[in-house]
Each structure stands twice: as C-alpha cells, then as structure tokens.
C-alpha cells in the first residue's frame, strides 16, 4: 500500500527533524528560546511522531483491514 510507505517516510523524516532540532538547541545560548522551542515545536513533533508510529503499528497488526466505514455499534431502537 502506497500510503503506508508515505506514512513511514513521514515518521522517518520527523525523526531526522527532531535530531536536527536537538543539535540546534544544543548550540543556542538563550535558555528562554530553548524552552520555547522545546515546548512549542519539539514536544508536538515528538507527539506526532509517536502517534504516527502507533498508527503504523496498528496497520501492521491489521486493525484497519476490514474497516467498512460504518459504525461498529448498532442504533438503539
């Protein structure tokens, strides 16, 4: 599935970006700026990368294999 390859590439790209950001932060002397970048950029990127990896694991485990697009719960009569 082409989408899985794209999602995997996105996850790998996020890892590389996070590594670059970490290296950049090590060179910044302004502690306030470092904290701002960590809180508003690095942390959300780490969350996104983690969630993307969870989705990829779910795909590998077949969680979405037989999804019909319909709700799993029947309506109450």
Quickly state the pLDDT bin for 73 (edges 50, 70, 90).
low
Instruction: Report which of 41, 55, 43, 45 is spatially closest to residue 7, judged by C-alpha positions.
Output: 55
Q: What is the mean pLDDT of the chain?
A: 90
What is the reported pLDDT for 72?
59
- Kindly list the distances between the CA atom of residue 35 and the CA atoms of 24, 28, 32, 45, 47, in Å, as whole numbers in the listed order: 13, 11, 5, 14, 17
Per-residue model confidence as pLDDT tens digits over 22-58: 999 999 999 999 999 999 999 999 999 999 999 999 9
Give the H/E segment covering residue 69. Answer: none
- pTM, rounded to two decimals: 0.76
**Residues ≥6 apart with Cβ < 8 Å to 8:** 56
């Amino acid at each position: 599935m082409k989408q899985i390859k794209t999602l995997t590439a996105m996850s790998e790209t996020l890892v590389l970006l996070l590594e670059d950001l970490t290296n950049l932060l090590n060179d910044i002397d302004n502690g306030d700026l470092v904290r701002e970048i960590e809180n508003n950029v690095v942390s959300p990127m780490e969350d996104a990368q983690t969630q993307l990896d969870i989705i990829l694991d779910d795909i590998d485990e077949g969680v979405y294999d037989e999804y019909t697009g319909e709700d799993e719960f029947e309506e109450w009569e």
